[in-house]
Amino acid sequence: MNRDYPLERVRNFGIIAHIDAGKTTVSERILFYTGSQHKIGEVHEGETTTDWMEQERERGITITAAAITCFWATTYLGEEGRKNKDNKYRFNIIDTPGHIDFTVEVKRSMRVLDAAVCVFDGVAGVEPQSETNWRYAEEAAVPRLCFINKLDRIGANFEKSYASILARLSKKAVRMQIPIGEEDKHEGQVDLLDMKAYKFEGHLGGNVVETEIPENLKEDAIKYRHELVERIVENDDEMMNKYLAGEEIPVAELKKILREAVIANKVFPVFCGSALKNKGVQLVLNAVVDYLPSPLDMPAIKGIDPRTGEEVERHPKDDEPFAALAFKLQADPFVGQLTFFRVYSGTIESGSYIYNASTGDKERLGRIVRLQADKREEVKKVFAGEIAAAVGLKDAKTSNTFCDENNPIILETIIFPEPVISLRIEPKTKADQERMGMALHRLSDEDPTFRVKGDPETGETVISGMGELHLDIIVDRMKREFNVEANVGAPQVAYKETITGTAEAETKYIKQTGGKGQYGHVKLNIKPLEPEVENKKKQKNIHREEGFEFIDSIKGGVIPSEFIPAVEKGVKEAMERGIVAGYKMVDVSCELTFGSYHDVDSSEIAYKIAASQAFQEAAKKARPVILEPIMKLEVVVPEQFMGDITGHLSSKRGLIEGMDDRAGLKVVKAKVPLSELFGYVTTLRSMTEGRGNANIEFDHYAIVPANVALSIVEARK
């Protein structure tokens, strides 16, 4: 069985937007224009309301799906040309989370998509979240187009929004269009490359009509075309010379160079329009075809061979060994649990077995589907570079790698941050109790930064995540999606402990009780873990994990090697229990330097106890401290509240890092300990008559000041 779309005609992209910028509306229009969706919120003749409601329901679900597939042929092919299947492109549109508390989700989605369309509000321009998301896209080197939306709104201003992109996101952005009219006069766009004007007629603007450039825009169009062409040709020496010699460069040539520049992250083309008023979305889709990469344009993906620990690569080729990444689990009301995956190399067929390199498990891959606006298309075989969803896989989790068992690879290497906040949660009724376990299990499968733990002492359930809002949303989803009502406790900060000095300790654990005795003797040297250790990772006798390193320097077998793992285990257990206030200890390098053994009495348990005691003793001497999560805070408020806001933050141990102007408002950037930020959003609202807004994101762990540490220790007693 062959692929129905050659790989160069596939585009895997995401739509990235600040909440409310119009991602949903843009997605709806895309589904409509790509033809897989003919009814947007409108009842047509001959349809019953129930039909329509069903479709609405389905549409609503599809819009939030992890990946939707649709097909597009560029509008300049004309009516007939567009019908030809060979002119069509397959778009896999990958959902990117809008909210900042899901940093990890955003990061992860950046790995799965090859490119992105960034949507901006034409009134507000670049907003805080646009900046954060842009930064993640930048880190992952994801090629981008910009779409300045909502140009029909009162106060919309293309030039200002464009300037905010240049100033705040990238100098590499360049206008591809200028709008015809703004606010209630917004009618369409002038394309600066082909120097034509476009308007949109018919149902939901479905007909793209080419017209003359309005007289009053001609001068601007010529000026900005020059600018655009210059920005394009500077990416190609030959073209640059031709251009400087005064030669007219054909549009097809310009497009070709621009495509290469966009894929290389050298240029970010900017488009504009109004999704709601049906102006311009089709032209963005043309641009997705023209400028965004196909999987073939992407570098090979790297992973680790789990057998050797060596780095290996996979290319987007059907004949390479199969490798795919599960990037999202999602419950679908029509077909059940879906595991969305992207195939990086090779192919996979429904009905075969799928090997999960991350867990070592094998599962039968029953059905595979692709979500389209109006149906779940059954897929027999998925090829390299494609995206699809497996139905009913039981063991696979988000970010697991599926691969050829004989050519194993692990793709996901994102290190997820440990949760920084936790709270107790209790079901309201007996019925809730049963569903709660299932709901929490599902939610934590989906989201690696969300954890669930039973507290063995109290029998209560503790959930933890990346911020107050993160946990709020989880509790809310439990209610809405799983119908579980729960009482939640006060949020608790996930403190940690570490050491700031070096120390040594020696312990002999000896017991003589009639029969067989116990004998364990170790000498440990501990010091703060330096980041450069990362480089030595592969060296022998060093075992490094997140925040812990164990070096075995025993010479001449003074402790037999079979007992060494027990020593490491004892140290780890002591670290789990902490030393200052009972919080987990991190970032410690522990070296086992000396010891002894007894032929008969030595045992694993004896070494474990000795190691644990020696570690505790050493840690006490190594200037132990408590660490607390520090959050990065961005507060946007009207100017008159500035003084109150900064004063309040300073009283909260906050460090003000800067202030900015943004669209007539003031922005305060600060770093503030999480423990001081509980309920901050509510406080902010009441301090600013509801007009202030805040983004809070985990930044790093820092040492707690001594006076605060004392009260933490007190509270734990």
Which residues here bind ligand GDP, judged by CB under 6 A? 17, 19-25, 149-150, 152-153, 274-277
20 is in an annotated binding site: yes
Phi/psi class of residue 4: alpha, beta or left (left: φ > 0; alpha: ψ in -120 to 50)? alpha
- CB of 692 vs ligand GDP, minimal distance in Å: 20
489 is in an annotated binding site: no
Query: How many whole angstroms separate alpha carbon 10 and alpha carbon 4?
Result: 11
- CB of 291 vs ligand GDP, minimal distance in Å: 22
- CB of 371 vs ligand GDP, minimal distance in Å: 18
22 is in an annotated binding site: yes
- CB of 154 vs ligand GDP, minimal distance in Å: 9
23 is in an annotated binding site: yes
The H or E element that residue 80 is part of is helix 78-83
3-class DSSP state for residue 31?
helix
409 is in an annotated binding site: no
Q: Which is nearer to ligand GDP, 277 or 572 (CB)?
A: 277
Distances (CA, A) of 654 to 17, 25, 340, 651, 687: 29, 38, 41, 7, 17
Length of the chain: 717
Q: Which is nearer to ligand GDP, 277 or 328 (CB)?
A: 277
Q: Which is nearer to ligand GDP, 144 or 277 (CB)?
A: 277
- CB of 464 vs ligand GDP, minimal distance in Å: 27
Q: Which is nearer to ligand GDP, 274 or 358 (CB)?
A: 274
96 is in an annotated binding site: yes
Which residue, chain included where needed, has tokens 């889709």? 285
- CB of 621 vs ligand GDP, minimal distance in Å: 54
Say what the alpha-carbon torsion angle 95, 99, 102, 103 is, to the nearest 10 degrees. Answer: 90
Write the CB contacts of 203 (distance below 8 Å, at least 6 apart in sequence): none
Q: Which is nearer to ligand GDP, 98 or 578 (CB)?
A: 98
- Strand (E) positions, 248-305? 268-272, 301-304
- CB of 364 vs ligand GDP, minimal distance in Å: 37
**Biggest CA pair distance of the chain:** 105
Q: Which is nearer to ligand GDP, 25 or 422 (CB)?
A: 25
470 is in an annotated binding site: no
609 is in an annotated binding site: no
φ, ψ at 707 (rounded to 5°): -65, -35
Structure tokens at 163: 């300037």
Considering only CA atoms, which of 432, 444, 429, 352 is closest in space to residue 393? 352
| Number of helices and strands in the chain (H, E) | 18, 38
Q: Which is nearer to ligand GDP, 461 or 695 (CB)?
A: 695
149 is in an annotated binding site: yes
Considering only CA atoms, which of 113, 108, 116 is closest in space to residue 146? 116
18 is in an annotated binding site: yes
- CB of 690 vs ligand GDP, minimal distance in Å: 19
Angle at 156 between CA 63 and CA 125, to 5 degrees: 70
Q: Which is nearer to ligand GDP, 9 or 153 (CB)?
A: 153
Annotated binding site: 17-24, 95-99, 149-152
Annotated binding site for GTP: 17-24, 95-99, 149-152
